[in-house]
Chains A and B, each alone.
Chain A
Amino acid sequence: MKVMSGNEAVALAVKLARVGVVGIYPITPQTTIIEELAEMRARGELSADIVRVESEHSAMAVTLGAAVSGVRSFTATSSQGLLYMHEMVWWTSGSRAPLVMVVATRAVGAPWNIWNENTDFMSERDSGWIMAFASTPQEALDLTLQAFRISEDPRVFLPVMVGMDGFILSHTKTNVFIPSQEDVDNFIPPRRQPYVIDPETKESMGNIFPPIYYMKFRQSIHEAITNSEEVIKEVGREYNKISPLGDYGTLNVSYKLDDADYAVVTMGAWSLDAMEAVDKLRENGLNVGLYRVRYIRPWSEKEIRENLGDKRAILVVDRATSLGRGGPLYLELKSTLNIPIKGVVTGLGGVSVGKRDFYSLISRFVEEARYSEVGGVEWYYPGEVKEVELGTPRTAH
């Protein structure tokens, strides 16, 4: 066990996974991942080739270039960097290149904001990547290690993105169990990939596909994502064997949900605050439970229906938003379940939301749900803010 931040945990996972090439570009709050990797390399602890590229678009490109040429590769970014990289994020999944990226989430400009928000990560969910989200530095380590194995599994052959809350996880230090190098070597088999760009194989990738072939190819990615659910559980069970804290046998995680009438759905670090609120609410007689989404893609309709299908009403708290529509978790759940679901959008731009806020949100929700059918989206501001006035912008003369 060692005390470390989420960023340090990720850097350690990259080393343990014996990554060959890392593409790096600085952006807060991911930067300490790449600094840690550079220092490890300077100390002789890391054999990976680190490429200090000139932009995030190039960070994904360099990582892809190495990956399709046969080497395990990795990159990391946040917010603006991820958005700048967006074209290459799609190019990578479209190329079916197994590789791993970590996103330390951060609000997206304009205007500038460096603090935590999950919208950047969530905005990539159409792209064809497997996407997992950590709730602790331990999970950041564990999910990153599993990501390498999942991406290189022949039933998947897709890139995997692991997200974690910027600053809250990336920079906060907790106790982390580190599996041994030997255990990790046995856990992650030698790299496999669907093709290699190599004069020996003469395979090529990415030229023009006529319409029907293109659509079939895209469907193959869709199928790979839905099939990956089984792979993820398998890999998770294997990982549980090398980590005493492992609970990776399912994609998502339930907390006091079995006998609950009402459920709260969250993702990421504040789930632990929400869990404390759930404990307190139960003490006070409210029958609630928590469902923590860990995998955004694949979206396990099966697990969700099994765990949430019998609830009277559900409160979804998103730290992200699809502007004009609501939080992504809320939207995904609404398309999965036929139950009253209410969405709350909060915590954007780093707005601090703690267990007291969760307590008040959930108890208010349960009150509402008892007497009416809940629904719709609420933007929640904690603390003293009672009302937010949205003024009309002044017009220039």
Chain B
Amino acid sequence: MTMRMMGMALGNNVALIVVAGCSSVIQGMGPKNSYGYPALNIAFAAGSAAASGMWRAFKQRNKDVTVVVWAGDGGTADIGFASLSGAAERNENFIYVCVDNEAYMNSGGQRSGSTPHGAVTPTTPEGKKENKKELLFLMLDHHVPYAATASVGYPHDLMDKLRRAKTIEGFRYLQVLTPDPYGWLFDPSRTAEVGKLAVQTCYWPLLEVVNGRVQVSNESLHCLRKETRRPLRDFLSVQGRYKRLNDQDYKELESYVDYTWDRILKLMRT
């Protein structure tokens, strides 16, 4: 869904770098390729580094091409984190899109750093103990010119963010929550709905940070005050991966949401 929206937002002049993940397979069998964009497929940890070389090559050839790294949460939070951090620190000129379905879905859904607390996965059959790695804040600590979050439940918001990112020079980060029916265990027809619930229950904040200035997106404004947040249960109960959730786990997740919004509020004040 995100790939399609990205195509609509960014237009034709794009070169993709696709790291190991579902999207490596969705392209179809070589030597043919089903993507409308030229794509360099690359090893798991190497996306951001390859992009650092690619955009410079286009610059030297005087070509105006938007370079986009397309990576999952495993490739972003874990194995690709060093190269992501390096590229952000150097303010490399490309857009990094993390499609976050909160696990290593291509290999069967094993936990990643981006898997939330309490979620059942094949490698955390009793539910993950740790909280979801806070990638957005980590990116903000690199002082990147643009960082944002989006959800497949709100396509127009997603496309607006990509269009804005395209106009900015330097390192741009977009993390899109992409609910996975097979990993999160819900009916595929509800994907967009689950993407909406994540935002409405304030689990997944929609934000845009341009040069350090935080702008909470419209769909998340109600989250700024605890009283107006939709109950987290509405989001969790739809997903089979939270079947084992006990009261303690639920409280842990609620305080994670509280903590996240406290951080956002703090950022808005500075």
Query: Which residues of A come within 8 Å of B, CB atoms?
Result: 20-21, 23, 49, 51-55, 57-71, 73, 87-88, 91, 95, 197-199, 201-210, 213
**Does B58 reach chain A (CB closer than 8 Å)?**
yes
Contact in complex: A57, B83 (CB < 8 Å): yes
Q: Mark B21-65, 1 if CB is under 8 A from A, else 0.
A: 000110111110101111111110111111111101111110101
Interface centre among B53, B54, B59 (most CB of A within 10 A): B53
Given contacts A65-B53, A69-B53, is CB(A207)–CB(B38) below 8 Å? Answer: no
B69 to chain A minimum Cβ distance, whole angstroms, is: 10
B60 touches A54 (CB 8 A): no
Q: Mark B residues whose CB is within 8 Å of A.
A: 12-15, 17-18, 24-25, 27-31, 33, 35-43, 45-54, 56-61, 63, 65, 82-83, 85-86, 89-90
Q: How far is the CA of A121 from the CA of B14 in the complex (A)?
A: 37
Question: Is there an interface contact between B29 and A66, defined as CB atoms closer than 8 Å?
Answer: no
Contact for B82 among A54, A71, A95, CB less than 8 A: A54
In the complex, the answer to whether A21 meets B29 with C-beta atoms within 8 Å is no
In the bound complex, residues from chain B placing their C-beta under 8 Å from that of A49 are 56, 59-60
Closest 7 CB pairs of A and B: A65-B53, A206-B41, A54-B86, A65-B50, A58-B49, A66-B53, A61-B49
Instruction: Say yes or no: A209 contacts B30, CB within 8 Å.
Output: yes
Contact of B24 among A58, A66, A207 (CB under 8 A): A207
Most A CB atoms within 10 A — which of B13, B51, B54, B65? Answer: B54
Contact B24 A64 (CB under 8 A): no
Task: Assess A62 versus B53: contact at CB under 8 Å? Given A49-B60, A52-B90, A209-B29.
Answer: yes
B56 CB to nearest A CB, Å: 5
Minimum CB–CB distance from A370 to chain B (whole Å) comes to: 53
Q: Is A21 a contact partner of B82 (Cβ separation < 8 A)?
A: no
| Chain A residues within an 8 Å CB radius of B35 | 204
CB distance from B65 to the nearest CB of A (A): 6
B255 CB to closest chain A CB, in angstroms?
34
A206 to B33, CA, bound (A): 10
> What are 6 A-to-B residue pairs whose CB atoms are below 8 Å?
A54-B86, A55-B86, A57-B45, A65-B51, A199-B15, A207-B29
Given contacts A52-B90, A69-B54, contact A58 B46 (CB under 8 A): yes
Q: Determine whether the beta carbon of A67 is less than 8 Å from that of B53.
A: yes
Contact status of A199 and B12, CB under 8 A, knowing A58-B82, A66-B56? yes
Can you name the residue of chain B whose Cβ is closest to the Cβ of A50? B56
Q: Please tell me if the beta carbons of A70 and B61 are within 8 angstroms of each other in the complex.
A: yes
Tell me if A207 and B61 are in contact (CB < 8 A): no
Inter-chain CA distance A54–B57, complex, in Å, is 19
B133 to chain A, nearest CB (A): 18
A65→B63 contact, CB < 8 A: no
A204-B40, A209-B30 are known; give 20 further A-B pairs, CB within 8 A.
Answer: A53-B83, A58-B82, A58-B86, A59-B49, A61-B45, A61-B83, A62-B52, A65-B53, A69-B57, A70-B61, A73-B57, A91-B46, A198-B38, A198-B63, A198-B65, A199-B12, A202-B38, A207-B29, A207-B30, A213-B29
